[in-house]
Structure 1
Amino acid sequence: MNRSEGYLRNLQQRRLVVRSKKRGVHNGSRQSSKFGSSLEFSDYRVYQPGDDVRLIDWNVYGRTQKHYIKRFLDEQEISIAIYLDGTASMRHIAAKWHLAKKLAAALSYLVLKEEDRLFFSLIPTSNTHPLKRKGAIYSKKTFLDIISLDTEVKSGGFVKILEQSLAKKHQLSILITDGMEEIGYLETVFRKMKAFKQEIWMFQVLAAEEITPTYSGDVKLIDSEKDTAVNVSMNDTILRDYQRRMVEHTEQLELLCLRYGGTFLQLTEEKELHAFLLRDMVKKGLIQ
C-alpha cells in the first residue's frame, strides 16, 4: 500500500456534514431525515459510522456477515463547490501550497466517495478549467490530480475572480485561501453566496513564516502578487506590529464567516493535515 492509499483509507469511513437543504433526487448516499415503510426501496450499500442503525438489513447480515443498509428513493445528492486560491501568495512558499492542495484533494475525495457532485476550481489559472465530477469512481483519481496541480498563474486576485465564478446550484461553497485580501472584497463574495442560500466554509492556510517571521536586519520584502519590492530594516517593533495586524486580520476573517453563517478554520504549515481533518474538523462538526 502506498502512502496515498493509506491516507485515503483513513478517510474512507468519514463524511462531510452539510447543513444546507438537499436538492435533487436519488443517486446520492446521504440519508434523508425521513424514515418509514412508505419510502420506496432502491438498493443496498455498506453501513458507515453515522448511518441510522434502523436501516441495517439483518437478513443480509445473516447471509454475508456484513452490515448493509437499505437505500430509498428519497436519498438525495448535494453539490459542493471547492475553490482553491492559486494566486502567487499561495504558491510562493512550496510547503504552504502543497498543504493547500492536499486539503482541497482530501475534501474533494470526501465529496465524491459519497456519490455527491463536486465542482472544483483553481483560481486564478490560465489553462485549467473547473473540474466537474460525480461518483466514487472518480474519487481517488481526483485526489491525485489535485495534489499534482502545477499550472501557470494567471494575473488577478482570488476574490475578484471567485465572485465571477460563483454559481447558484451548490449547497456548500468551500474556500481554501490565505485570506490575504481586503475584508470588504471578501464580504461581497460572502453576500452573494448567502443570497444563493449556500453554506460557507473558509479555510485559511498559512506558512509558519507568515505567522512568526524570523527576519532581522535590512531585508528586501517582495509582494508576490504585485511583484513589487520594498527595503525594510526589521526590528522587534516592526515584527510585533506585523504579528498584531496578522492576528487582527484573521479575527476579522472569522467574524465575517460567522456573520454570514459560515465556518472558519485556520490550517498552518506545522499542523499535520490528517489530525486537522479528523480532529479539528470533527470537533467543528464538519466531518463525522
Structure 2
Amino acid sequence: MDALPHAGAASPGGSPLAGRRALVTGGGSGIGLACARALTEAGAAVTLLGRREAALREAVDKGAARQAIAADITGLLPDLPPCDILLHAAGAAESAPFLKSDDALWQRMLSVNLLGAAAVMRAVLPGMLEAGEGRIIAIASTAALKGYPYVAAYAAAKHGLLGLVRALALEVAGRGVTVNALCPSFTETPLLEGSIATITRRTGRDAAAARASLARHNPQGRLVRPEEVAAAALFLCLPGAAAVNGAAIPIAGGEV
C-alpha cells in the first residue's frame, strides 16, 4: 500500500500543467497509462493508483509518473495525496448473456466501475473544494451511452458512472471544480485483448476476425488509440476547458 519510489525531475515551468498534481487510477496500463504520460509531459506531478505493483513500478521507472500507490479501489483506500486533477481510468469488463450473469459478476462490475469511482472521488473532492479548483475526469465508455449485447452488467455500471459524473458536476458547479466523462469506443488496450480472447474462445473465430468485429462498431472502421483518449483528457485539464462540466464526450469515430 506504500507509495513506490519517486522518479524523474520537476517539469519545466513553462509547461501548461506545471505545478498541478494529478492522481491517475488504473494508471499501470492502457488508457490510464496513456493519460499519465500526457499529464506528465504537460508538466503535472502525477501519482498512479492501481493494483499491479510491477506495472506501476515500470510506469514510474519509464517516467510516466513521479510515484505510484499500489491499492485496490474496491477495498479500503489508503491515504491519497492531495490532487488538483483526478483522472479515473480504473475499470474492468466481463461479458455473459444476461440470463447467465450471476450476482457475483454484477457485484464485480459495479464495484470496480462505479462504487470504486465514487470512493476515489469522495476521497479527493474535499481538498479540491477547499482549494476552490479541481478537475475530475472519469473514463466511461460508449457503453455509458448505449447498450451492447452480452455486457449488461458492464453497461449498467458505466451508465451509473455517467450518472454520477452528471450529478456531481451540478453539485460542484460554481465552486471551481469540473466533472466530466470521456466515452471511448473499443480501444487498443490490454482490456480489449481480454475481450478478444473471450470472443475467440466462445465463437471459434481467430483473433484477427474478432478484432475486426469490434472495429466495425466505429464508423471509421478502426479501434481507438489510448493516446487519443489521453489527448481529450489533457484538454479537459487546461484553463480553456473551464466551462466544460457534466459532459460525456464520445471518442468513437461517430458511433454515438
Q: Which TM-score band applies after superposition, normalised by the shorter structure? A: 0.3 to 0.5
Taking structure 1 as the reference length, what is the TM-score of the superposition? 0.36
Taking structure 2 as the reference length, what is the TM-score of the superposition? 0.39
Q: Mark the structure with the bigger radius of gyration.
A: 1
